[in-house]
A and B are shown apart, each in its own frame.
Chain A
Amino acid sequence: GAVVSQHPSWVICKSGTSVKIECRSLDFQATTMFWYRQFPKQSLMLMATSNEGSKATYEQGVEKDKFLINHASLTLSTLTVTSAHPEDSSFYICSASGTTEAFFGQGTRLTVV
């Protein structure tokens, strides 16, 4: 099946710094990718829809300036958490749309200290 690679799998950063998370579709092209956030023992909440070659569409309540999304190619979308704070610590998961289903990355555990 199709593979979506997410990198890094975990990252620890200092408060105030920025962190970039990459999401790659390895064997198919994805015009649309999605970024989700998952708090411990909770479900996945959609943060934004990443569209290749255009601006991302953010869900209500998600800060556009804090969570920068770039989808520069059909195989790569990036999420940058800017000026990270401890409350941004979470598990971030991306997905890419295939022909009939969405494929998920392995997730990135972000810890801001």
Chain B
Amino acid sequence: AQSVTQPDIHITVSEGASLELRCNYSYGATPYLFWYVQSPGQGLQLLLKYFSGDTLVQGIKGFEAEFKRSQSSFNLRKPSVHWSDAAEYFCAVGAVSTDDKLIFGTGTRLQVFP
């Protein structure tokens, strides 16, 4: 079955601390992997995506993610969190064709303390 698991429902970090959000997937075909961020009452903004090639991908706002096929993981990282990073983060997986639907994880809510 195709699925995405985000084990951490809620994470709290101090501003300036490093961050890692976990994502594990189960997908039968070659996956496209995405991380999106959602502010309250807003749509989704793409942070980064992985299709192929270098397994460490750089995204916007200083985020990066590493694809590890052996672990079926695509964890999101940021070396130093800013207060404005507080939001909901969703990992998603899709097929090679973008006409296919995305399967989302349950999300991780990030709270940042000053």
Contact = CB atoms under 8 A, between A and B. Distances in A.
A93 B43 contact: yes
B41 A109 contact: yes
A100 B51 contact: yes
Chain A contact surface mostly: strand
Interface residues of B, number: 22
Interface string B45-76: 11001010000000000000000000000000
Given A97-B98, A98-B98, A100-B49, A107 B42 contact: yes
Interface in A60-113: 91, 93, 95, 97-107, 109
A44 interface: yes
A102 to B, nearest CB: 6
A97 B99 contact: yes
Contacts of B109: 41
A34 B98 contact: no
A76 B91 CA distance: 27
A109 B43 CA distance: 11
A64 to B, nearest CB: 17
Nearest to B109: A41
Interface in B82-114: 90, 94, 98-99, 101-107, 109
B43 A101 contact: no
Nearest to A91: B41
A103 B49 CA distance: 12
Contacts of B36: 104
Interface of A: 4, 6, 31-32, 34, 41-46, 49, 91, 93, 95, 97-107, 109
